[in-house]
Chain A
Amino acid sequence: MTVAAPVAHVADPAESSQPPVATPPPRRGKWTGWAFVGPFMVVFAFVFLAPIIYSLWLSLFRDQMVGGNQFVGLENYIQAFGDQQLWRALGRVTLFLVIQVPVMLGIALLVALAIDSGRLHGKNFFRIAVFMPYAVPAVVATLMWGFMYGTQFGLVANFNDMFGLNIPSPLAPEWVLLAIGNIVTWQFVGYNMLIFYSALRVIPHSLYEAAEIDGAGQWRIITAIKLPAIRSAMVIATIFSIIGSFQLFNEPSILQAMAPNSISSSFTPNLYAYSLSFAGQQFNYAATVAIIMGVITMLVAYVVQLRGMREDMR
């Protein structure tokens, strides 16, 4: 259930695992495979398919003062399309992802290239240390950064005191999105770096040698060999970072206790859906918001993937 899990290709595996698929071994009963796949699929149906169907169903109803729970057709969706709070929240996560995702993936790529170049002292230490924040739960990461951001006893306060500075509170309304972006970047730079690094490592080194013989410098090797070779890893990392941004919840939800004036209950679409159902008891509308966000996320992920793959073929 976590966005952070390293998730597989969305379309590639159908191709890549085709060989074992295409030549299945002869077997006794043709249904035997279900004995192994069945348990997964039963639970899967219960926790993946059923909630989706149930929320589609819910989104078509509304609890009304008069008449109780009534079928309202697409009225919830119509309401959502005119809902300023939802679109403002969506605008906020879009702004977030347009800035945070490139910064995070950029840093991850630079570190991966540096480690892969073999020019670092102690490269294994770099690899492990930069990855380490991935093991830190979002809750702890947010609490730590939240404390450090604090103008009371945080590092910001320390620096202000020490150097007579007047750094504004990162938790102030104008800065809080940036503050959250930093927390997310901190958590996932290492993870993305490792994905890029794993992709870089399988490039045949004979390519580099050939390029050197042709007089290509390091920079040429990076732009002409390394980057094209890890394109699919970059597409995947981008897709999952985008999904993560649209789903932004943990960090703002936890920071809310520290910065109640900066983070409203509709700060992100997910936070909005959460407060609709748990503070407002508007379950039908919350289900509608969740569905709309799911569809938007899948559309964006699909477009990114399509673009990434098309350029692959060129």
Chain B
Amino acid sequence: MTITATDSRTHRTSARRRPARTSMLKSTRFSSVTRPRRSALLTALTSIALIYSLLPLVWLVLNATKPQAELFTSFGLWFSDSFHLIENIAATLSYDDGIYTRWLLNTILYVVAGAGGATLLAVAGGYGLAKFNFPGRRAVFAVVIGAAAVPGTALAVPTFLMFSQLELTNTPWSVIIPSLISPFALYLMWVFAAEAVPTELMEAARMDGASEFRIFWQIAAPLLAPGTVTVALFTTVATWNNYFLPLIMLRDSSWYPLTLGLNAWNSQASTAGGEAVFDLVITGSLLMILPLIAVFLLLQRFWQAGLSAGSVKE
């Protein structure tokens, strides 16, 4: 607290000398208007939102440690008598000849091919839109932005109808191909590429006789890396969490991603003769969200930058 106070005083004095520069410095170094006091009351009030956000996750972790019978007999927000987490994980992975692992591998396939492909297309497309003037460029912009306003799920039924005509349904392609397009990703890379890749650098490379492909690959791509990571992260989340599209496209459960698989396990209890496996649904859910949470925590810098690029630009 004392350090902050001294700090701000030094800034004050220098502010008189160089107003423009210090006001910039201030905004990055200080979180708010002149020396905000930490408020216990505000912290407590905001904690309500915090508890709301974390409560279901805490519930999930606690209940992943219970055998199915004790789900019904124990208090939801505390451990039960037996600690079955390891047993539950083992049961989740081995149930029905290890179908969970198959679903996990499917999900990874859809993410790598779908989100990976979406990222590549968006990076190349955004770079092309930002750095080249070509016939039809305005039309591309208009069409893609217009399409971004078309709700994704409204497209799903028509896409299914078209894919079933082409006999693509019930194959991995039916999930991967629609995942390849993200208008948001294209927009983000466009804005990013416009600022990150200096045109002079491209010109210099052209003088040296580099091909356009080489300029893209060796000069632009490294400069585009931060934007690429952001886009990859968001398309990964979209693909990893995708439910509606695979639900429509896939009949055969061996092509299911985890989202569909977990839902199938859950619905199993309400079908005639189906075995209730709530313990596996809960443990499977926990296992499914851990990788994404880990990725989000590790790559904070990128998704936060991505959100500001998408929303803040005036």
What is the interface of chain A, defined by CB distance below 8 A to chain B? Answer: 1-14, 16-17, 19-21, 24-28, 30-41, 43-44, 46-52, 54-55, 58, 107, 110-111, 114-123, 126, 128-141, 143-145, 147-148, 152-155, 158, 162, 186, 189-190, 194-195, 198-199, 201-202, 204-206, 208-209, 212, 218, 221, 232-233, 236-237, 243, 246-247, 249-250, 253-254, 257-258, 260, 270, 273-274, 277-278, 283, 286-287, 290-291, 293-294, 297-298, 301-302
Contact = CB atoms under 8 A, between A and B. Distances in A.
5 contacts: A28-B212, A116-B32, A135-B293, A243-B149, A291-B154
Given A2-B242, A20-B130, A198 B296 contact: no
Contacts of A158: 75-77
Given A28-B206, A40-B181, A291-B154, 12 more contacts: A2-B241, A2-B242, A5-B234, A17-B130, A20-B131, A31-B135, A36-B132, A44-B147, A116-B32, A119-B37, A233-B311, A258-B266
A199 B212 CA distance: 36
Interface of B: 23, 26-27, 30-34, 36-40, 42-43, 45-46, 49-50, 52-54, 56-57, 59-60, 63, 71-73, 75-77, 121-122, 124-125, 127-137, 140-141, 143-145, 147-162, 177-184, 186-188, 190-191, 194-195, 199, 202-203, 206, 212-213, 216, 234, 237-238, 240-245, 247-248, 259-260, 262-263, 266-267, 269-270, 278, 281-282, 285, 288-289, 292-293, 295-297, 300, 304, 306-308, 310-314
Contacts of A51: 155, 158-159, 161-162
Q: In terms of DSSP, what is the predominant structure of the interface of chain A? A: helix
Contact of B46 (A3, A27, A114): A114
Contacts of B26: 205-206
A128 B75 contact: no
A40 B164 CA distance: 23
Given A24-B133, A137-B240, A36 B33 contact: no
A283 to B, nearest CB: 6
Given A114-B45, A278-B248, A140 B158 contact: no
B56 A141 contact: yes
A32 B128 CA distance: 8
B150 A120 contact: no
